[in-house]
């Protein structure tokens, strides 16, 4: 507990930066190599180091879901994990789900059902929705709501989001 | 976030040696990374244990055995868990969002830190974060805090739903350390705050939780987890109850009860259990168990409502179990 003894002191944490770690990630089918301070979250690696700004930073503490990506096919909060913990992993972001100019069916359903207003939570909603459909948790609106509850929409577009996920699940 | 060195280990011996030398284990990271960013946690060395083999669920003759690195989502969906221990599946599903359930390990879930807002606020006194600095919650905003097991130094509740279910089911953890492997009951994994609230568990230096053992029992398949919270999903418990009943020939043979959101550790309700044994199932028995559950509660300035809520939640959960509308049925 040595660290706790000084934990009341507010500092910027700026001591000597730790040495960078070289990792590689298979992102949206493309192999990317990057050297990172081990403190870098997967979210910051995507946005600040790999020019993939579709994934959004909302709360940065795992509560809002705006940063949802798929790692080896599973949806996670990319803000709550370090990039170095995913060396060699397969990452899918919102930039990777359309087929060229053809939208992913869930992207198209979001447009059809007006499932957003400001759009900031939308990439996370869609990535979470893609996983929710793949997991098979779309049997009813209640089930969709429960299994999409890790994604918050402050504009309150939930009825459209639930309808879009339900439609894409049925089409899929 | 403070600087740290990072190492990913391939075997348990290396991991345990690294932790014995002062490293911190990281698995899912959902608590630790968050608290490191807030500078509440400041490990100088992170030991990534995700390549260790403790990820499977298996059925032994006497118990269901859950690897400590298995993810919440995988355990909740495992056929053996759903069939033989539906209470665990229900507590896991209610315990976090789908994304976090995909990330968080079972061992990490048991060792998650408290959600007391003062613990996360660096300029507020908190004896857990800075021993001896004082407890801001005792005279502060304490609607979410504990009724049982509190001290003059800390009143924070333990936040894990899974741990409540495991305590009710008499589960144990297998701990592997630098020199030995041992088993302790999940209930005894946790310390009461007393005058050392910064010490939360009974792990020795370097010890790693490798598995959780949940003994087979006649009541495991007749069990429910009720979580009362401020919104319908993805929220910590205000009050929660894990209840399991063995009802044979119209008589309660054995009952197991534990509560969350009310204790500084998962709170076993033994007086209620003893009173239920031998009774006929029904409203009178459930109400009596609820009344006994609140015996000894010590509410704070802002959480008196939890006493009545606990009494009712115990009765309600027992009624749900007896009605057979189980999560696993």
**Residue A32 maps to which CATH number?**
3.10.20.30
Residue A1 lies in a domain: no
d(C-alpha B119, C-alpha B31), whole Å:
13
Interval B304-318: pLDDT, tens: 999 999 999 999 999
The domain boundary residue, chosen from A38, A62, A96: A96
pLDDT of A6 strictly over 60: no
Whether A103 and chain B come into contact, CB under 8 Å, resolves to no
How far apart (Å, rounded) are the C-alpha atoms in residues B253 and A147?
37
Q: Which of A40, A61, A96 is at the close of a domain?
A: A96
pLDDT at B43 over 60: yes
Q: Give residue B231's pLDDT band: very low, low, confident or very high (50, 70, 90).
A: confident
B137 secondary structure, DSSP code: S
- Asked whether residue A146 is domain-assigned, the answer is yes
A57 falls within a domain: yes
Q: Which domain, by its residues, includes A31?
A: 18-96
Residue B216 has pLDDT above 80, yes or no: yes
Write down the pTM of the prediction.
Answer: 0.95
Does A98 reach chain B within 8 Å, measured CB to CB? no
A78 pLDDT above the threshold of 60: yes
Whether A66 maps to a domain, the answer reads yes
Q: What is the pLDDT of residue A9?
A: 44
Which residue bears the tokens 């109400």? B287
Q: Name the domain boundary from A37, A69, A96.
A: A96
Is A86 found in the same domain as A30?
A: yes
CATH of the domain at A144: 1.10.150.120
Mean pLDDT score, B114-142: 97
Say yes or no: A67 and A134 in one domain. Answer: no
A27 and A86 assigned to the same domain: yes
Do A123 and A65 contact (CB within 8 A), yes or no?
no
Q: Cβ neighbours of residue A7 under 8 Å, at least 6 residues apart?
A: B39, B40, B42, B122, B129, B130
pLDDT tens sequence across B130-169: 999 999 999 999 999 999 999 999 999 999 999 999 999 9
What chain B holds in terms of domains, given with CATH numbers, is 5-48 (3.30.43), 223-323 (3.30.390.50)
Closest CA to B84 of B100, B61, B105: B61
Position B326 scores a pLDDT of: 52
CB atoms B29 and A85 under 8 Å: yes
pLDDT for the residue numbered A103: 98
Q: How many domains does chain A have?
A: 2
Show which residues on chain B lie within 8 Å of chain A, measured between beta carbons.
Answer: 1-6, 8, 26, 28-30, 33-34, 36-44, 46, 48, 50, 73, 96-100, 102-103, 122-123, 125, 129-131, 133, 198-199, 232-234
Rounded to an integer, the average pLDDT of B216-225 is 96
pLDDT at A2 over 70: no
Using pLDDT thresholds of 50, 70 and 90, give the confidence band for residue B124. Answer: very high
For residue B100, list chain A residues with Cβ-Cβ distance below 8 A. 62, 77, 80, 150
Flag whether A11 is in a domain. no
Strand A21-27 with A90-92, pairing: parallel
Judge whether A4 lies within some domain.
no
Q: Are residues A90 and A140 in the same domain?
A: no
Q: Which residues of A touch B41 (CB under 8 A)?
A: 3
Residue A148 shares a structural domain with residue A87: no
Q: Quick one: DSSP state of residue A45?
A: I
Top pLDDT among B251 and A9 is at: B251
Provide the pLDDT confidence category of residue A15 given band limits of 50, 70 and 90: low
Give yes or no: residues A127 and A158 share one domain.
yes
A5 falls in which pLDDT band (50, 70, 90)? Answer: very low
A120 shares its domain with A79: no
Token pair in block for residue A131: 């996983």
Q: Is residue A58 domain-shared with residue A79, that is, in the same domain? A: yes
Residues A36 and A91 in one domain: yes
Assess whether A90 and A158 both reside in one domain: no
Question: What pLDDT is attached to residue B233?
Answer: 79
Q: Kindly state whether residues A117 and A89 are assigned to the same domain.
A: no
Contact A56, A78 (CB under 8 A): no
Per-residue confidence band for A4, with pLDDT thresholds at 50, 70 and 90: very low
Q: Which helix (H) or strand (E) holds B162?
A: helix B161-168
Cβ atoms < 10 Å from Cβ of B138: 18
Query: Would residue A153 count as lying in a domain?
Result: yes
Q: How confident is the model at residue B188 (pLDDT cuts 50, 70, 90)?
A: very high
Does a structural domain hold residue A10?
no
The tens digit of pLDDT for each residue in B263-315 reads 999 999 999 999 999 999 999 999 999 999 999 999 999 999 999 999 999 99
A60–B contact, CB cutoff 8 A: yes
Segment B224-237 shows an average pLDDT of 90
C-alpha angle with apex A129: B227 to B163, nearest 5 degrees?
Answer: 25
Instruction: Tell me, rounded to whole angstroms, the distance of Cα A132 from its chain centroid.
Output: 13
Q: List, as own/partner pairs, every contact residues B16-19 make where C-beta atoms lie below 8 angstroms and the sequence separation is at least 24, other chains included.
A: B16/B176, B16/B177, B16/B178, B16/B206, B16/B207, B16/B208, B17/B178, B17/B206, B18/B45, B18/B47, B19/B47, B19/B205, B19/B206, B19/B207, B19/B208
Residues A33 and A90 in one domain: yes
């Amino acid at each position: 507990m040595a660290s706790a003894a000084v934990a009341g002191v507010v500092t910027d944490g700026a001591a000597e930066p730790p040495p960078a770690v070289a990792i590689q990630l298979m992102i949206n089918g493309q192999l990317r190599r990057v050297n990172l301070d081990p403190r870098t979250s997967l979210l910051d690696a995507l946005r600040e180091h790999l020019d993939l700004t579709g994934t959004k930073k909302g709360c940065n503490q795992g509560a809002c879901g705006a940063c949802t990506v798929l790692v080896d096919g599973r949806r996670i909060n990319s803000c709550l994990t370090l990039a170095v913990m995913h060396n060699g992993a397969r990452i899918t972001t919102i930039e990777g789900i359309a087929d060229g100019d053809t939208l992913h069916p869930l992207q198209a359903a979001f447009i059809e059902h007006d499932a957003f207003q400001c759009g900031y939570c939308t990439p996370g909603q869609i990535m979470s929705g893609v996983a929710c459909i793949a997991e098979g948790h779309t049997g009813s609106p209640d089930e969709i709501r429960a299994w999409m509850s890790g994604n918050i929409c402050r504009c309150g577009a939930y009825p459209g989001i639930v309808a879009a996920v339900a439609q894409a699940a049925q089409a899929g | 976030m403070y600087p740290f060195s990072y190492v990913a280990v391939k075997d348990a011996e290396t991991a345990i040696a690294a932790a014995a030398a002062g490293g911190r284990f990281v698995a899912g990271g959902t608590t630790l990374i968050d608290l490191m960013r807030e500078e509440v946690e400041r490990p100088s060395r992170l030991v990534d244990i995700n390549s260790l083999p403790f990820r499977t669920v298996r059925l032994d003759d006497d118990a269901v055995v859950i690897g400590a690195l298995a993810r919440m989502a995988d355990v909740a969906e495992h056929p053996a868990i759903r069939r033989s221990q539906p209470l665990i599946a229900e507590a896991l599903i209610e315990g976090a969002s789908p994304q976090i359930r995909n990330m968080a390990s079972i061992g990490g879930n048991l060792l998650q830190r408290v959600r007391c807002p003062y613990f996360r606020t660096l300029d507020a006194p908190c004896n857990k974060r800075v021993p001896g600095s004082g407890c801001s919650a005792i005279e502060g905003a304490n609607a979410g805090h504990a009724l049982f097991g509190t001290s003059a130094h800390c009143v924070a509740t333990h936040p894990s739903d899974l741990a409540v279910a495991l305590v009710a089911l008499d589960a144990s953890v297998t701990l592997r350390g630098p020199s030995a492997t041992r088993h302790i009951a999940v209930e005894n994994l946790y310390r009461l705050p007393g005058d050392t609230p910064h010490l939360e568990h009974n792990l020795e230096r370097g010890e790693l939780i490798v598995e959780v053992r949940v003994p087979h029992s006649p009541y495991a398949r007749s069990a429910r987890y009720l979580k009362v919270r401020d919104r319908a999903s993805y929220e910590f418990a205000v009050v929660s109850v894990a209840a399991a009943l063995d009802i044979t020939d119209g008589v309660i043979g054995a009952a197991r009860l534990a509560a969350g959101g009310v204790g500084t550790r998962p709170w076993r309700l033994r007086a209620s259990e003893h009173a239920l044994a031998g009774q006929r199932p029904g409203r009178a028995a459930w109400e009596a168990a609820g009344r006994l559950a609140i015996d000894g509660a010590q509410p704070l300035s802002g959480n008196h409502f939890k006493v009545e809520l606990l009494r009712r939640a115990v009765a309600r959960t027992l009624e749900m179990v007896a009605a057979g509308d189980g999560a696993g049925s």
